[in-house]
Amino acid sequence: MTSHLAALWNDIEIAMHPSLMDTLLKWLTDSDRQVVIATHSFDVLHSLTLIEPRDAKVILLRKDDNDVIHHKSLEIDELEEILEKGIDPRAIIESLVE
């Protein structure tokens, strides 16, 4: 029986040398773990587009003035297109809230 471990990592980029980010993300995507990463970092998002992890999703969250949380789910290739166009991914979810 294979053991599937899950992990939640909030602000993965905090207190980490930038040169380690790609290595860590690659290690996580190659492992047999389900990992949820919360970040505000464009560098982490960019690294994900380079690694192209299988079965990965990016979920953008935004809370409106009434404390309702809105979300938008993106595939890695969609995120890559957005970043290549110079669009801030947060602008996408903000447009859904307004």
pLDDT band at 40 (very low <50, low <70, confident <90, very high): confident
pLDDT digits (tens, 9 = 90+) for 45-67: 888 898 888 788 999 988 888 99
Query: 50-72 burial, b for 16+ CB within 10 Å, e for fewer?
Result: ebeeeebebebebeeeeeeeeee
pLDDT digits (tens, 9 = 90+) for 88-97: 888 877 776 5
Global pTM value? 0.76
pLDDT digits (tens, 9 = 90+) for 69-83: 888 899 999 999 999
As a whole number of angstroms, the distance between CA 70 and CA 16 comes to 29
In what helix (H) or strand (E) does residue 69 lie, and over which residues does it extend? strand 69-75
Confidence (pLDDT) at 66: 92
HSE toward the beta carbon, residue 19, CA cutoff 13 A: 0
| Residue 98, pLDDT above cutoff 70 | no
